[in-house]
């Protein structure tokens, strides 16, 4: 599929798109460099800078929508970033329909999360530094989606990785937080290496990393090259979006403050991988094998996330695994290609509302329950936290896909598109997506019921739950409105808006009528939710009980962590130890041995220099006698 947009130079209002990155970046620098002098007002600077960026992004978005469909883009080259030999990379930005919707998501939802964080982090002594990292994160994510070439994308990509490490491990006094930050950093390096090598291959084969030039010349590449390039990009996307096999870091990221969890899981970091594949649609649609691999990754991950999420008792980890699963739906969509690219973006945007809503709702529950996270210790909270309960209910109904909430309009079309694949895999991927819908309804209803309904199961530390302040509940209300109504609005506008990027929507024949698929999805959702309500409406055991094989495996993350430890971590440790031993005893031993030998020999030879004249005379006499004796022996034939 060829892109229909020609990237026009930015002009008029759109010539200021560089401010979208500059505003949060400058505010982050101010917050981090001024130190304690900004403690009293730094958090408000963080909020206002992101809110101002949202307003500016909205102005640019409206300006872009006023252009003709084929001209909806603005490319801005700020300066020559790299000019070495044949490699020329601009420090350039691109504001087009795809970048525009991501900018509004990042800054819009990000502004609400920032506002919520003012109340959530009120008593934290590092609040100013937290907002500095927060704004650095937003700036890096905006650079990622606004870059007009893969090198700029990579700079934003690495900036997001750095900021996520700083935020996940923000509470450095907690060993679990430090470990989680390191785990996220290292696992993302695996994906980042794939993306970097992919960019190298891109330049080696096409001589450029500019989007328009790369996409316009994909047809000149061999099928094998396209496959390898796509797999490298997919590796990077899987790492950043927490997809199989690099999903293990994402649930552990819950060790950071709850606003971090909301920002990473809803509006920014995990969406980067989906953006990368969507932006690179010309590469992925050029090879059907590549598309099938993306679909397989998405389908497998969405089922894994559902199964593991159903066995977790930590409120934030349940939501984390639901993010893994929902991103799996998005990967399924972008892997299907064609009009499903736009469907994946619709689900990504809707997910930004209801997942941020639920993560912040979980933070509100923790705030009112003295940081308790075990849903087995909750129950009956709707009596004490009515606003949190009401807004969380909107997110719960949205994510399980109850019509007419947003999740129904965003997820059901992806399921239908899975049944439109032109071969037998339509049944496989379609039923995987339907099964995921039923499982999502089950484990999210379990979470909702155990938290807000049933008997109270509080401990001595949290006998008096209470509602959060308005600075935390008002963002919940706004996100709840998005959870309720954004789906229909997005489903009716986004496909046409993204046509210049993805091309016209192509209708395909589904193996089942859409009405039947829709009814099956609703039936499975109702059955899953009903089963969870029946099982957990009266509460659950406060301690883990012996379970079957599936539940035990789910509690252990389907043994993926054990697999990574056995196959990669331990052999890596042993290999490192062996290399250190070889270096110390082999290479260093050889060098040190030669040095010691030379030093020892020199020391022994030095003893011959006694400083006594008679010793030197005796040595000379001995040498002379030996020389004369040798000559005589030769003359007499003794040495012949």
pLDDT, tens digit, 9 for 90 and up, residues 246-271 = 898 888 888 889 999 888 888 788 89
Tell me the two tokens of residue 309: 């999420």
Q: What is the largest CA-CA distance in the chain?
A: 122
Report pLDDT digits (tens) over 262-313: 888 887 888 999 999 999 999 999 999 999 999 999 999 999 999 999 999 9
Q: What is the pLDDT of residue 423?
A: 77
Q: What is the pLDDT of residue 620?
A: 85
Contacts by 173-177, CB closer than 8 A, 24 or more apart: 174/255, 176/255, 177/255, 177/256
Q: What is the pLDDT of residue 431?
A: 94
Q: Is residue 2 scored above 50 in pLDDT?
A: no
Q: What is the pLDDT of residue 5?
A: 44
Q: What is the pLDDT of residue 11?
A: 67
pTM (predicted TM-score): 0.89
Query: What's the rounded mean pLDDT across residues 315-339?
Result: 92
Distances (CA, A) of 362 to 241, 258, 317, 366: 21, 8, 10, 6
- Separation of alpha carbons 344 and 327, rounded Å: 9
Closest CA to 364 of 453, 275, 258: 258
- Separation of alpha carbons 479 and 102, rounded Å: 17
Q: What is the pLDDT of residue 388?
A: 95
> 74 - beta bridge partners?
95
Tell me the two tokens of residue 129: 């530094």
- Separation of alpha carbons 139 and 620, rounded Å: 82
Query: What's the rounded mean pLDDT across residues 481-502?
Result: 91
Tell me the two tokens of residue 515: 């009405």
- Separation of alpha carbons 138 and 31, rounded Å: 14
- Separation of alpha carbons 25 and 234, rounded Å: 28
Q: What is the pLDDT of residue 432?
A: 95
Q: How many of the other CB atoms lie within 10 Å of CB of 544?
A: 12
Q: Is residue 482 scored above 90 in pLDDT?
A: yes
Report pLDDT digits (tens) over 93-152: 999 999 999 999 999 999 999 999 999 998 889 999 999 999 999 999 999 999 999 999
Q: Is residue 174 scored above 50 in pLDDT?
A: yes
Q: Is residue 638 scored above 80 in pLDDT?
A: no
Report pLDDT digits (tens) over 351-386: 999 999 999 999 999 988 988 899 998 988 999 999
Q: What are phi and psi of 405, to 5 degrees?
A: -75, 170
Q: Is residue 1 scored above 50 in pLDDT?
A: no
Q: Is residue 590 scored above 50 in pLDDT?
A: yes
Q: Is residue 10 scored above 70 in pLDDT?
A: no
Angle at 28 between CA 24 and CA 32, to 5 degrees: 175
- The model's confidence at residue 3, banded by pLDDT at 50, 70 and 90, is very low
Query: What's the rounded mean pLDDT across residues 441-450?
Result: 96
Tell me if residue 171 falls in helix, strand or coil: coil
Q: What is the pLDDT of residue 561?
A: 84
Would you list the DSSP string of 365-418? HHHHTTT--BGGG---GGGT-HHHHHHHHHHHHHHHT-TTSHHHHHHHHHHHHH
Q: What is the pLDDT of residue 334?
A: 93
- Separation of alpha carbons 341 and 283, rounded Å: 13
Q: Is residue 637 scored above 90 in pLDDT?
A: no
Closest CA to 284 of 344, 350, 242, 326: 344
**Percentage of the chain modeled with pLDDT above 70:** 96
- Separation of alpha carbons 284 and 341, rounded Å: 11
Contacts of 9 (CB under 8 A, 6+ apart): 74, 75, 76
- Separation of alpha carbons 259 and 272, rounded Å: 18
Report pLDDT digits (tens) over 404-435: 999 999 999 999 999 988 778 889 999 999 99
Q: Is residue 318 scored above 90 in pLDDT?
A: yes
- Separation of alpha carbons 595 and 606, rounded Å: 16
- The model's confidence at residue 507, banded by pLDDT at 50, 70 and 90, is low
């Amino acid at each position: 599929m060829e892109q229909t947009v020609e990237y026009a130079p930015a002009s008029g209002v759109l010539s200021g798109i560089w401010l979208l990155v500059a505003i949060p970046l400058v505010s982050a620098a101010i917050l981090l460099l001024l130190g304690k002098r900004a403690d009293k007002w730094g958090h408000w600077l963080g909020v206002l800078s992101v809110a101002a960026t949202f307003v500016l992004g909205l102005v640019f978005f409206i300006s872009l929508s006023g252009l003709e469909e084929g001209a909806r883009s603005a490319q801005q080259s700020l300066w020559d970033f790299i000019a070495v030999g044949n490699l020329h990379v601009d420090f350039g930005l691109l504001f087009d329909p795809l970048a525009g919707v991501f900018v509004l998501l990042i800054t819009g939802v990000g502004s609400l999360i920032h506002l919520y964080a003012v109340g959530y982090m009120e008593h934290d002594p590092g609040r100013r530094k937290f907002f500095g990292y927060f704004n650095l994160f937003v700036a890096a994510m905006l650079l990622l989606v606004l870059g007009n070439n893969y090198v700029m994308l990579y700079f934003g990509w690495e900036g997001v990785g750095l900021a996520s490490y700083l935020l996940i491990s923000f509470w450095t006094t907690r060993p679990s937080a430090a470990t989680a930050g390191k785990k996220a950093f290292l696992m993302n390096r695996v994906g980042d290496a794939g993306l970097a090598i992919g960019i190298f291959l891109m330049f080696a084969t096409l001589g450029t990393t500019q989007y328009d030039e790369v996409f316009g010349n994909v047809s000149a590449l061999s099928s094998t090259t396209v496959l390898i390039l796509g797999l490298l990009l997919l590796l990077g996307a899987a790492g950043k979006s927490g997809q199989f096999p690099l999903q293990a870091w994402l649930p552990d990221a819950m060790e950071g403050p709850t606003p971090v969890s909301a920002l990473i899981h809803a509006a920014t970091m995990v969406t980067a991988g989906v953006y990368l594949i969507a932006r690179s649609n010309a590469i992925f649609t050029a090879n059907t094998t590549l598309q099938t691999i993306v679909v397989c990754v998405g389908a497998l991950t969405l089922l894994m996330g559902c199964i593991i999420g159903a066995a977790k008792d930590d409120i934030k980890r349940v939501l984390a695994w639901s993010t893994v699963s929902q991103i799996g739906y998005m990967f399924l969509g972008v892997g299907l290609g064609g009009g499903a690219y736009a469907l994946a973006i619709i689900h990504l945007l809707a997910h930004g509302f209801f997942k941020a809503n639920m993560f912040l709702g979980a933070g509100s529950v923790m705030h009112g329950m003295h940081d308790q996270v075990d849903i087995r210790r909750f129950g009956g909270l709707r009596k004490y936290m009515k606003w949190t309960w009401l807004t969380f209910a909107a997110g719960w109904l949205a994510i399980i896909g109850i019509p007419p909430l947003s999740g129904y309009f965003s997820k059901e079309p992806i399921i239908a598109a899975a049944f439109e694949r032109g071969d037998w895999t339509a049944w496989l991927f379609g039923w995987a997506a339907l099964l995921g819908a039923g499982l999502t309804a089950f484990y999210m209803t379990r979470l909702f019921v155990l938290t807000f309904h049933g008997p109270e199961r509080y401990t001595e530390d949290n006998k008096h739950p209470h509602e959060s302040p308005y600075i935390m509940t008002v963002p919940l209300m706004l996100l709840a409105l998005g959870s309720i109504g954004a789906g229909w609005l997005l489903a009716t506008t986004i496909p046409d808006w993204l046509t210049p990027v993805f091309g016209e929507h192509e209708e395909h024949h589904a193996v089942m009528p859409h009405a039947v698929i829709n009814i099956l999805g609703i039936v499975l959702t109702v059955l899953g939710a009903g089963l969870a309500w029946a099982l957990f409406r009266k509460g659950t055991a406060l301690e883990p009980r012996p379970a079957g094989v599936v539940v035990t495996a789910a509690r252990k993350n389907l043994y993926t962590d054990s697999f990574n430890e056995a196959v990669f971590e331990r052999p890596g440790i042993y290999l490192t130890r062996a290399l250190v031993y070889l270096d110390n005893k082999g290479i260093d031993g050889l060098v040190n041995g030669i040095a010691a030998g030379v030093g020892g020999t020199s020391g022994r030879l030095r003893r011959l220099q006694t400083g006594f004249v008679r010793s030197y005379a005796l040595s000379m006499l001995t040498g002379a006698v030996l020389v004369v004796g040798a000559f005589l022996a030769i003359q007499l034939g003794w040495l012949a």
